[in-house]
């Protein structure tokens, strides 16, 4: 196989993705997404952690783009799950967003969810969060990895933050996986696209397994569509990658 550049592969993938519809979540949950975005762009402690992550660059896993998307969607899920009359709703959105921002802070390390939870606990010391709110963030991060045993949560708000983080993170296993995350990981690790192709179909099987793991009512309703769109997109991208590789070989 002839090597093709990650830049070319990313451009091809984004062109393919442009012909697919946006998941229904963003249309049917638009009001809650706008609320979450507003909080994400105005709340003081959220902005503090955004600035902290910006200082790390993309050297903490999938990078700030991924973490920001997870944070906003986690907040949107919390908003969807709670009635507007619930006291402290916006505060719980903030807590979910902090969990989203920090969930992959130890992504490069083994057992990154547990290590990330430990790091989050350290970072949350001496902030305005209460001990209970900090615990919500820490446990949510510990519980965000797929196919791992969850830590038990008895507090319903803590459970919601944890489940919302998981579902928002797994939304990224859909279209985002094939337009940004995959290429960022290859670029960061300087990984040959030939290795990607060798394990591509196994990776697709792993993504299929995510469809049945969503945890909130909102996630169970909208999450499978994220995965279905991503899988369809991923198959087309795989076929195009094979063609690009063959073309490169023919011209060599």
d(CA 21, CA 197): 25
Domains in the chain: how many in total? Answer: 1
Pair of tokens at residue 235: 């198959």
The reply to whether 236 falls in a domain is: yes
- pLDDT at position 63: 72
Q: Is the CB of residue 83 less than 8 Å from the CB of residue 109?
A: no
Please choose, from the candidates 181, 188, 146, the residue with its C-alpha nearest in 3D space to the C-alpha of residue 163.
146
- Please report, for the domain that includes residue 182, its CATH number: 1.10.3210.10
204 found inside a domain: yes
Whether residue 131 is contained in a domain is answered as: yes
Cβ neighbours of residue 182 closer than 8 Å, sequence gap 6 or more: 13, 196
**Can you give the pLDDT of all 252 residues of the chain as single tens digits?**
446 788 889 999 999 999 999 999 999 999 999 999 999 999 999 999 999 999 987 665 567 889 999 999 999 999 999 988 788 999 999 999 999 999 999 887 888 999 999 999 999 998 999 999 999 999 999 999 999 989 989 999 999 999 999 999 999 999 999 998 888 888 777 778 888 889 999 999 999 999 999 999 999 999 999 999 999 999 999 999 998 877 765 544
For residue 25, what are its two tokens? Answer: 């979540």
Q: Is residue 37 part of a domain?
A: yes
Which of the 8 DSSP states describes residue 145?
Answer: S
- 211 lies in a domain? yes
Report if residue 1 sits inside a domain: no
Placement of tokens 């076929």 in the chain: 239
Angle at the Cα of 215 (from 80 to 141), degrees rounded to 5?
95
Furthest CA-CA distance within the chain: 65
CB 178: neighbour CB atoms within 10 A?
27
Burial 211-233 (b: 16+ CB within 10 A, else e): bebbbbebbeebbbbbbebbbeb
Is 216 contained in some domain? yes
Q: Which DSSP category does 211 fall into?
A: T
Give a yes or no: residue 19 inside a domain.
yes
Domain with 96, as residue range(s), is 6-251
Task: Please enumerate in sequence order all residues whose Cβ is within 8 A of that of 8, keeping only pairs 6 or more positions apart, or say none.
Answer: 244
Residue given tokens 């990776």 in the structure block: 203
Give me the pLDDT at residue 59, please: 60
- DSSP 8-class letter at 45: H
């Amino acid at each position: 196989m002839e090597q093709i550049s990650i830049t070319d592969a990313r451009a091809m993938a984004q062109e393919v993705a442009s012909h697919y519809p946006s998941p229904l979540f963003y249309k049917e949950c638009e009001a809650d997404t706008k609320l979450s975005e507003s909080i994400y762009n105005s709340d003081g402690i959220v902005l503090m952690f955004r600035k902290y992550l910006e200082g790390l660059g993309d050297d903490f896993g999938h990078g700030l783009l991924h973490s920001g998307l997870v944070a906003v969607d986690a907040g949107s899920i919390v908003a969807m799950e709670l009635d507007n009359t619930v006291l402290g709703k916006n505060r719980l959105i903030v807590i979910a967003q902090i969990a989203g921002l920090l969930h992959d802070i130890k992504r490069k390390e083994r057992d990154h969810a547990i290590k990330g939870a430990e790091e989050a606990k350290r970072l949350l010391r001496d902030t305005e969060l209460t001990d209970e709110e900090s615990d919500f963030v820490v446990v949510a991060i510990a519980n965000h990895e797929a196919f791992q045993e969850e830590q038990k949560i008895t507090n319903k708000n803590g459970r919601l933050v944890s489940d919302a983080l998981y579902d928002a993170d797994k939304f990224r296993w859909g279209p985002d996986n094939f337009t940004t995350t995959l290429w960022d990981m290859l670029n960061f690790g300087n990984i040959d696209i030939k290795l990607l192709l060798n394990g591509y179909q196994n990776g697709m099987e792993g993504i299929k397994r995510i469809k049945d793991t969503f945890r909130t009512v909102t996630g169970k309703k909208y999450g499978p569509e994220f995965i279905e769109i991503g899988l369809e997109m991923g198959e087309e991208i795989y076929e195009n990658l094979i063609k690009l590789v063959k073309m490169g070989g023919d011209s060599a």
